[in-house]
Structure 1
Amino acid sequence: MSVTSHATKFAAPRTDAAGRIALIGLTLPEMIAALEEHGLPKFRAKQVWHWVYHRGVTDFEAMTNLPRDLRDTLIEKFSIERPGVMTEQKSTDGTMKWLLVMADGQQIEMVFIPEADRGTLCVSSQVGCTLTCRFCHTGTQPLVRNLGPHEILQQIMYARDVLGEWPVAGEKKDANQGRDLTNIVLMGMGEPLYNYANVAKAMQICMDEDGLGISKRRITLSTSGVVPQIVQCGEELNVNLAISLHAPNDAVRSEIMPINNKYPLAELLDACRNYPGLSDNRRITFEYVMLKDVNDSDDQARELAQLLRGIPCKVNLIPFNPWPNSPYECSSGNRIHAFARILNGEGYDAPIRKTRGQDILAACGQLKSESQRAKPTA
């Protein structure tokens, strides 16, 4: 299925149960057009944009510089609410996970990982996942639908609500100074490049200086290898790129990641080599989950080093995070460190990722919700 037909089949709703249009997710020109349909002048749309993205208000009544009749129109026709929250969990290591409910009742998970020098929000792009990577818990949940740009942005905005990171009146906004949430990773539920149009729109608003104001250098998009959209992503968004690789050859990768049958390694790595802006100062991250007796031998480490030759990159080695009834085991600590030493000896930076939030199933590959795809009616 093409990305275009996929987007149509699994489209996200743009209105809530009351038929109100979500203003979150609209670009400024779109917001101007939407408000003009109700007779509101252009400068009012700019005021609303500021309230929504700069001040983070969730109630039109808080837009105190707008006249009463305008606020009444906004309340009737539009929405700026956040998702509902079914559960909030906090790990012993400080990682937080939320199960969020969209306006139509569908659920997604989102994770915030605090560190000494940064705070990273792991954002979902789909309800469920279209892929079936065998080591990933999310991959056991069929794709229900894409998330709209408003729903992707709502996750970031809700996290800012929780962390108290909206500027107060008169405060100059800087999204990276003095804030806990500094980085965004599109590594939650779903394959971002199978929902590219919505992801791109959300990230453009996220990066807009007058939007959420988060630098593209602090945003990383992770893909399992949807080759046609990789270069497009680089040209249009130019965010950091991470590739879920997890194998040194086509045979192993196709076994654990069926997408490799459609986009084999030669095509994937060619797209990586042509990613705009790639340099020794701006490298691709290759993610490699360590699976016992599957992809973790010394020979496979040397094969991986040869495979990536000539691509400015680093390899993140990820200890496999188990989930209920998972078919794999994590490689031993000694085996992971031996694998890393071989890559280091071949000239690669190969850090071993510290597992975060494992006790609340918030670690890499552990996210899953209970949403189900609606069955067709006769």
Structure 2
Amino acid sequence: MSEAIQKKEIKCLSIEELKADLKEMGEKPFRAGQIFKWLHEAVESFDEMTNLSKELRAKLSERYELTVPICVRKQVSQVDGTRKYLWQMRGGDCVESVLMRYEHGNTVCVSTQVGCRMGCKFCASGLFGLKRHLSAGEILDEVLFIQKESGEPVSNIVLMGTGEPLDNYENVLKFLHLVSCPGGIQIGQRHISLSTSGLADKIELLANEKLQITLSISLHAPDDESRSSIMPVDKRYPVARLMQACAYYFDTTGRRISYEYMMARGKTDRPWQAEKLASLLRGRPAHVNLIPLNPVKESPLQPSSRDTVRKFQQILERHGVTATVRRKLGPDIDAACGQLRRRTLEEGEIIQ
């Protein structure tokens, strides 16, 4: 094969796509299942695929790129065992992912982009802007190699790391199908949550896919004045338009939506905002996840007091809105999205 021909990323291919390629190569289609299984065991070389002939392994190496992320930095919480990873992907780009331990199993939080262009004021992920989208295979790598490095099985996935998943729609959709596909690690879609800052048109597009995932909306304020001041996306998709998309999502999929709400002192935590949020969600099957703010040094926003969070929660519950306070994991490590990558960039350990 000519070096001018760009190799395909093999982990981005479904079993059916692998079968089609193998047929074109003159190989038996059943080999696709074997290859797919090896890929989901996080092999680092085609030579590890020992039930394939040397000839086939050579063909695969010539035709495909096998992505292998490198762990640049790892932090382990001494409080709860949460692990935060900084992975170097192809081209030298670095992204974060997190392994969180719960009673019901291990959850991995994955990134979907290198950087982010949403510009939310409370998040470190977008401080350097968006560099590029991650491929479906690269997102999958975060799950596979955390499972390999930790030696622990992953049962749940949240797409809540660096990047806006719906801004990388096609690759994220492909990842969701790959990670839940029989023959691989097969994490069921009901064990996957996708968090979006509110790209209303993409939410409606996602609804039409009728997946079994949980959709989480990063709402963070119930009114346009407050929300647009911390989330620029609100200027393009105001609260009313976002809620219209959410209604369409529920009507189309029948799946309850979770609303993430960041508690920032004097900005999003006032009683009238709790009342407005309750009014906004009245009659909607919804769950509100109140999130204590992780401070970012470039942002003036500060976390709400425990008492303020409790009173906010009580107002919602009084109006019949289910609300819980997210437990803070990994308090002794760079817990917030983008903080570890940002600190490593500032220290000059990686250049991007």
Counterpart of 1:85, as a letter, is C
Segments of 5+ residues of structure 1 without an aligned counterpart are: 1-15, 166-178, 374-378
Output one character per residue of 1:317-345: Cα deviation in whole Å (capped at 9) or x when no partner. Answer: 00110122321110111111110111111
**Is the aligned partner of 1:60 residue 2:34?**
no
Aligned-pair identity in percent equals 42
1:150 to 109, 128, 137: 137
Does structure 1 retain, via aligned residues, the 8 Å contact 2:67–2:138? no
Does structure 1 retain, via aligned residues, the 8 Å contact 2:123–2:336? no
Does structure 2 retain, via aligned residues, the 8 Å contact 1:88–1:98? yes
1:225 to 177, 180, 198: 198
Structure 2 counterpart of 1:82: 68
Structure 2 counterpart of 1:31: 18
2:291 to 308, 318, 335: 318
Shift of 1:372: 7.3
CA distance in 2, matches of 1:348, 1:79: 48
Output one character per residue of 1:3-28: Cα deviation in whole Å (capped at 9) or x when no partner. Answer: xxxxxxxxxxxxx9995432111112
CA distance in 1, matches of 2:183, 2:207: 22
CA distance in 2, matches of 1:182, 1:346: 34
Tell me the number of residue pairs that the alignment of Structure 1 and Structure 2 aligns.
Answer: 341
Counterpart of 1:325, as a letter, is E
Q: Go from structure 1 to structure 2 and tell me whether the alpha carbon gap of 1:372 and 1:314 turns closer, same or farther (over 3 Å shift).
A: farther
Does structure 1 retain, via aligned residues, the 8 Å contact 2:125–2:337? no
CA distance in 2, matches of 1:160, 1:149: 17
CA distance in 1, matches of 2:338, 2:253: 27
Counterpart of 2:325, as a letter, is I
**Is the aligned partner of 1:289 residue 2:275?**
no
CA distance in 1, matches of 2:138, 2:177: 14
Structure 1 counterpart of 2:223: 249
Output one character per residue of 1:50-76: Cα deviation in whole Å (capped at 9) or x when no partner. Answer: 3223x4433322222211211222233
Shift of 1:188: 0.3
CA distance in 1, matches of 2:66, 2:338: 31
Shift of 1:160: 1.5
Shift of 1:368: 3.9
SS in 2 for 1:357: coil
Does structure 1 retain, via aligned residues, the 8 Å contact 2:140–2:179? yes
1:333 to 306, 323, 341: 306
Counterpart of 2:183, as a letter, is D
Counterpart of 2:141, as a letter, is Q
Structure 2 counterpart of 1:7: none
Does structure 2 retain, via aligned residues, the 8 Å contact 1:141–1:368? no
SS in 1 for 2:108: strand
Q: Given the two structures, how large is their TM-score scaled by the length of structure 2?
A: 0.91
SS in 2 for 1:323: coil
**Is the aligned partner of 1:299 residue 2:272?**
yes
Shift of 1:278: 5.4
Does structure 1 retain, via aligned residues, the 8 Å contact 2:124–2:337? no
SS in 2 for 1:133: coil
**Is the aligned partner of 1:140 residue 2:127?**
yes
Structure 2 counterpart of 1:172: none
Q: Go from structure 1 to structure 2 and tell me whether the alpha carbon gap of 1:101 and 1:332 turns closer, same or farther (over 3 Å shift).
A: same
Does structure 2 retain, via aligned residues, the 8 Å contact 1:84–1:102? yes
**Is the aligned partner of 1:40 residue 2:13?**
no
